[in-house]
């Protein structure tokens, strides 16, 4: 996991629609290309990064990408949002805006 993870329970009770509305992705690709993580969770399996679905700097399974990808930079563990990755530019923005 990235070393730039900010632990917080501020978003724990928020639904995924709300969380997604806060994310302003910069399409830098860092969460898919292996620069930040070695793998992502896809259900009970792991997808090794760089992700095989990351093509031409886009997600080729965008509409069916895993929930962890949908909610990133929020970090979901056992179904609970417990952290934000602030190495992600969108995560850094959220942390600055919503966490004081």
Interface with ligand SF4, residue 69, by CB under 6 A? yes
Q: Output 27 or 80, the one with its CB closest to ligand SF4.
A: 27
Rounded least distance, CB 47 to ligand SF4, Å: 6
**Residue 95 · residue 86 · CB < 8 Å:** yes
Six-digit token string for 63: 């509409």
Site string for ligand SF4, 17-46 (x = CB under 6 A): --------xxxxxxxx-------x------
Rounded least distance, CB 82 to ligand SF4, Å: 17
State the Cα torsion 85-51-46-37 to the nearest 10°: -30
Rounded least distance, CB 66 to ligand SF4, Å: 6
Cβ-Cβ contacts under 8 Å for 13 (sequence gap 6 or more): none
Query: Phi then psi for 75, rounded to 5 degrees?
Result: -100, 120
**Residue 59 · residue 69 · CB < 8 Å:** yes
Local structure of residue 24 (DSSP, 8 states)? -
Rounded least distance, CB 30 to ligand SF4, Å: 4
Q: Which residues bind ligand SF4 (CB under 6 A)?
A: 25-32, 40, 51, 53-54, 59, 61, 65, 69, 72-73, 88-90
């Amino acid at each position: 996991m990235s070393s730039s993870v900010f632990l917080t329970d501020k978003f724990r009770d928020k639904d995924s629609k709300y969380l997604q509305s806060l994310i302003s992705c910069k399409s830098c690709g860092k969460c898919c290309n292996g620069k930040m993580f070695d793998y992502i969770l896809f259900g009970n399996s792991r997808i090794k990064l760089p992700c095989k679905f990351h093509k031409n700097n886009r997600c080729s399974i965008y509409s069916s990408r895993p929930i962890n990808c949908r909610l990133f930079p929020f970090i979901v563990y056992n179904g609970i949002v417990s952290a934000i990755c602030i190495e992600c530019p969108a995560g850094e923005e959220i942390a600055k805006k919503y966490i004081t």
